[in-house]
C-alpha cells in the first residue's frame, strides 16, 4: 500500500470516528436530558401533591369549624337533627339485636325522604367547600397520572442506553478487524465497507424517531437496510 493510500485511509477513519463519537455523545446527552426531565417532573409532582394536600387540610378544617366547632344557628339545627336521627336508628338496631329480632324494618326511624331532605340541606350549605375538596381530589389524580406517565420514560431511557452500548460494541468489533491488519486494511475502500456495516447496524437498531433523525444528520447517506 502506498503512503498516499495509507494517509487517505487514516484520514477517512479519523473523520468517521469524529462523526460517530459525536453521534454517541448526542445520544447520551439526549438520555441525560430525558432523565433530568423525568426527575424534574416527579419533583414537581411531589410539590403539587404537598400543596394540594395542604389546601385539602385547610378546607377540611374550615368545614369542621363551620360544622362542629363554631356553627351558625341553622347549621347547628341541621347537625342536631341528623345526629338525633342517627342515634335513634342505632338505639333501635341495638335493641332489636339484643332481643334477637331481625333488622328488616326500623319502626322508629324517620322516613327515607325526610332523611334525604335533611342530608341535602346539610350538603348544600357546604357546597363550595365540598366542590373545593372534589377539585383537589381531581387535581391530585391528574398529578399522580402525570407522575406515572413520566416514570414510563424509564423504558425509553433503557432502550437508548442499550443502543449506545451496542453501537460502541460494534464499533469496537469493526476497529479490531481493521487493526488486526492495519497496513493492508487501512484504505478507503476497505474502511468504507467496515464503517458502512457499523452505521447500518446502528441505524437498524434505533426504535425512536428522534434517534433516526439525529443519525441522519451525521450520516445522511446511510439508510436502513
Q: Residue 34 domain-assigned?
A: yes
| Set of cell numbers at residue 69 | 366547632
Q: Which helix (H) or strand (E) holds 174?
A: helix 153-180
**Sole residue written with cell 460517530:** 20
Query: Is the distance from CB of 188 to CB of 12 less than 8 angstroms?
Result: yes
Q: Residue 224 domain-assigned?
A: no
Show Cβ contacts of residue 17 under 8 Å, excluding neighbours closer than 6 positions: none
Higher pLDDT, 144 or 108: 144
Q: Which of 60-74, 102-116, 120-134, 184-198 bottoms out in mean pLDDT, i.e. has the lowest? A: 102-116
For the residues 125-136, what does the mean pLDDT come to?
Answer: 66
**Sole residue written with cell 360544622:** 67
Q: Residue 28 domain-assigned?
A: yes
**CA 145/CA 182 separation, integer angstroms:** 56
Tell whether the model's pLDDT for residue 24 goes beyond 90. Answer: yes
Higher pLDDT, 156 or 116: 156
**CA 53/CA 29 separation, integer angstroms:** 36
pLDDT reported for residue 105:
60
Tell whether the model's pLDDT for residue 145 goes beyond 60. Answer: yes
Q: How confident is the model at residue 73 (pLDDT cuts 50, 70, 90)?
A: confident
Q: Residue 171 domain-assigned?
A: yes
Alpha helices (H) along 65-126:
73-98, 112-125
Which domain does 151 fall in, by range?
3-218
Per-residue pLDDT tens for 40-60?
888 888 888 888 778 777 777
- DSSP-based three-state secondary structure for 126: coil
pLDDT reported for residue 77:
77
Q: Residue 225 domain-assigned?
A: no
Q: How many helices (H) and strands (E) in the chain?
A: 8, 0
Q: Residue 26 domain-assigned?
A: yes
HSE of 98 in the Cβ direction (CA atoms, 13 Å)?
6
**Backbone φ, ψ for residue 64 (5° rounding):** -60, -40
Tell whether the model's pLDDT for residue 25 goes beyond 90. Answer: yes
Query: Is the distance from CB of 23 to CB of 215 less than 8 angstroms?
Result: yes
Share the mean pLDDT of the chain. 81
Q: Which of 87-91, 102-106, 154-158, 166-170 bottoms out in mean pLDDT, i.e. has the lowest? A: 102-106
| Set of cell numbers at residue 87 | 342515634
Show Cβ contacts of residue 195 under 8 Å, excluding neighbours closer than 6 positions: 12, 13, 16, 20, 174
Per-residue pLDDT tens for 157-184?
889 999 999 999 999 999 999 989 888 8
For the residues 63-87, what does the mean pLDDT come to?
Answer: 75
Q: Residue 92 domain-assigned?
A: yes
Nearest to 214 by CA among 30, 64, 61: 30
pLDDT reported for residue 83:
78
Q: Residue 223 domain-assigned?
A: no
State the total domains in the chain: 1
Amino acid at each position: 500500500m502506498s503512503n498516499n493510500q495509507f494517509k487517505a485511509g487514516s484520514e477517512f477513519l479519523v473523520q468517521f470516528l469524529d462523526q460517530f463519537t459525536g453521534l454517541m455523545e448526542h445520544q447520551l446527552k439526549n438520555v441525560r436530558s430525558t432523565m433530568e426531565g423525568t426527575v424534574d417532573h416527579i419533583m414537581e409532582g411531589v410539590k403539587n401533591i404537598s400543596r394540594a394536600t395542604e389546601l385539602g387540610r385547610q378546607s377540611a378544617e374550615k368545614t369542621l369549624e363551620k360544622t362542629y366547632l363554631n356553627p351558625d344557628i341553622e347549621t347547628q339545627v341541621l347537625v342536631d337533627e341528623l345526629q338525633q336521627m342517627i342515634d335513634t336508628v342505632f338505639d333501635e338496631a341495638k335493641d332489636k339485636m339484643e332481643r334477637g329480632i331481625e333488622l328488616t324494618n326500623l319502626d322508629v326511624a324517620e322516613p327515607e325522604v325526610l332523611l334525604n331532605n335533611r342530608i341535602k340541606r346539610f350538603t348544600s350549605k357546604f357546597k363550595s367547600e365540598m366542590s373545593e375538596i372534589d377539585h383537589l381530589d381531581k387535581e391530585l389524580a391528574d398529578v399522580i397520572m402525570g407522575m406515572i406517565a413520566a416514570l414510563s420514560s424509564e423504558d425509553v431511557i433503557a432502550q437508548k442506553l442499550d443502543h449506545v452500548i451496542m453501537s460502541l460494541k460494534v464499533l469496537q468489533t469493526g476497529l479490531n478487524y481493521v487493526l488486526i491488519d492495519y497496513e493492508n486494511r487501512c484504505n478507503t475502500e476497505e474502511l468504507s465497507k467496515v464503517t458502512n456495516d457499523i452505521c447500518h447496524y446502528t441505524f437498524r437498531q434505533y426504535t425512536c424517531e428522534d434517534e433516526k433523525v439525529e443519525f441522519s444528520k451525521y450520516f445522511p447517506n446511510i439508510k436502513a437496510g
